[in-house]
Amino acid sequence: SFMESHSGMRKKERKLAELLNIEHCLIIPGDSDKEIKVLEHFGSVLTDVLGSQLPNGDNVIAVMGGTTMETVAKNMQELETPRRHNLFVPARGGVGETINIQANSISGMMAEKTGGDFKVLYVPEQVSHETYEILLQEPTVQRVLHLIEKANCVVHSIGQALRMAKRRGMAAEELSMLKNKNAVAESFGYFFNEDGDVVYKIPRIGLQLKDLKHIPYVVAVAGGKHKAKAIQAYIKNAPAQTWLLTDEGAANQILKGE
């Protein structure tokens, strides 16, 4: 029955949270590797989590990019209340993703779906170091960077290291460097080994990994059996307040390897 499977899932969530050593973990039925509707479901779950956790007043929510975040964003719902306002900003400058899955696009989509506002970080990906330095002096860029510094919430995904490196067009030498360093997970443009240690970082402006510790609301959204190892590795050193939203595909695989 529904009630049984519901309580079974709560039990599994507690088991997974214990294994990963985190406080909050939610598991959505199904495997997002196989069914897009599982990823879509993450959108309403994320809306519920933010709706129940975020304080009243003005929130600044920094978001990352990726295909998970894209589907999640498209499936979010109204989050504004008379007492709570949300402003979405990209967490970091571009890490080499195509336009529809860039953090700027995701933050715009989330604002549209939830009734909040958003700001764009106008820093293109492929510019010379000199141009980049000049752009950073621009008041519009500076203003958004200040907002990112004020973020009280971060939403991001987690990916497989090599898959992400390839998608972002990293050079062959960088790929073999990542292999040599046993990188298994990626998030925020940082690469992690199985122990959750950073082995490489794409230098970008905006939110840095060390800033995450000081942000009260951090949500990691990642599912699919193929991401099990990456999730487990990343979570090892993730800030303690991180909520993990995942699915049965990833959760069962992690619990199996315990």
Q: Which residues bind ligand F6P (CB under 6 A)?
A: 64-69, 95, 97, 156-159, 164, 186-188
* Residue nearest ligand F6P (C-beta atom): 66
Smallest separation (angstroms) from ligand F6P to the CB of 219: 11
- Within its chain, how far is the Cα of 223 from the centroid? 11
Smallest separation (angstroms) from ligand F6P to the CB of 187: 4
Our CB check for ligand F6P shows the closer of 67 and 84 to be 67
73 Cβ contact partners less than 8 Å away, ≥ 6 residues apart: 43, 63, 106, 109, 110, 113
Q: Strand 159-160 to strand 153-156: parallel, antiparallel, or no bridges (unpaired)?
A: unpaired
Smallest separation (angstroms) from ligand F6P to the CB of 70: 8
| Contact assessment for residue 93 and residue 121, using Cβ atoms and an 8 Å cutoff | yes
Our CB check for ligand F6P shows the closer of 8 and 124 to be 124
Q: Residue 3, SS3?
A: helix
H-type alpha helices, 84-167: 103-114, 129-136, 139-149, 161-167
Our CB check for ligand F6P shows the closer of 115 and 177 to be 177
Our CB check for ligand F6P shows the closer of 164 and 251 to be 164
Smallest separation (angstroms) from ligand F6P to the CB of 134: 25
Smallest separation (angstroms) from ligand F6P to the CB of 211: 14
Inter-CA distances, 126 with 4, 95, 102, 107, 174, Å: 53, 10, 14, 21, 18
Our CB check for ligand F6P shows the closer of 20 and 207 to be 207
